[in-house]
Structure 1
């Protein structure tokens, strides 16, 4: 597997992965209005690292750099539990020493993953999609 910076020719694959992954990850939300074009809007201004396997996009992480905030971490639904999310986080960790993210409290699979990666809960909040935890991965220095 290779982790690279986003390339323009990857856009169709990233759009499809983002749409399929969100629909699979949030079954309690009404996802009927999600669309392929959401990817560009939702990652605007972010650094996007892409996981490639045999030239297939299998995951990505979107980071809002000024805050070291992980806004997106998605893996192709047919490739979950194969270390892709872990590899993306480790790649980001090489640049960003303290990272933050919000994770919906109902997203138990993601919460287990982030806790296993060393994130700790720094607080709670409520957003348009429900309650969330504010998680932090502290500096490893």
Structure 2
């Protein structure tokens, strides 16, 4: 797929059904450390409650979304539809998140999610801490592209 213009806006309620499907399908496809049957459609509503949600669209089709706990500049969820992977959607969502809530951004990346970890590292995120709990994860920080120039 060629890289088309990515339009990002605050999520509209009428988009939530599509966002739920992206959240469900991506987790079922990529989260092999979770029990497949434990992943539910309404997990989206629980996981994004009280968060700012930004939706990315390409050619008027929802390509992905990010949800942010604004107080902490914490990216809680970043999901891209499998139809739009490697089109710059994740990068665009991170950049727009930084514009909307400011820097630095932080997130937790499950250690078993190697694809996400490699993506974040390629975008200039740094691992601040490794936490070993029931589900081991990395606490990561993004201070912007200028970090790479230091």
Residues 122-141 of structure 1 correspond to what in structure 2 (within 5 A)?
122-128=128-134, 130-138=135-143
Corresponding residue of 2:14: 9
Structure with the largest fraction of helix: 2
Taking the aligned partners of 1:67 and 1:126, their CA distance within structure 2 comes to: 22
Q: What CA RMSD, in Å, does the superposition of the two structures yield over aligned residues? A: 1.5
1:93, 1:62 → 2: CA distance? 12
Cα distance in 2 between the residues matched to 1:57 and 1:67? 26
| TM-score for both structures, normalised by structure 1 | 0.93
Counterpart residue number, 2:38: 33
Q: How many residues end up aligned between the 2 structures?
A: 140
Query: Is residue 2:110 matched to residue 1:110?
Result: no
CA distance in 2, matches of 1:15, 1:133: 25
User: Which residue pairs with 1:67 in the alignment?
Assistant: 72
User: Structure 2 CA distance, aligned partners of 1:78 and 1:110?
Assistant: 16
Residue aligning to 1:42: 47
Deviation at 1:127, TM superposition (A): 4.2
5+ residue gaps in structure 2?
A: 1-5
Q: CA-to-partner distance for each residue in 1:21-45, whole Å, 9 max, x for gaps?
A: 1112211321212221111111001
For residues 101 and 54 of structure 1, the distance between their equivalents in structure 2, rounded to whole angstroms, comes to 29
Q: TM-score, normalised by structure 2?
A: 0.87
Deviation at 1:10, TM superposition (A): 0.2
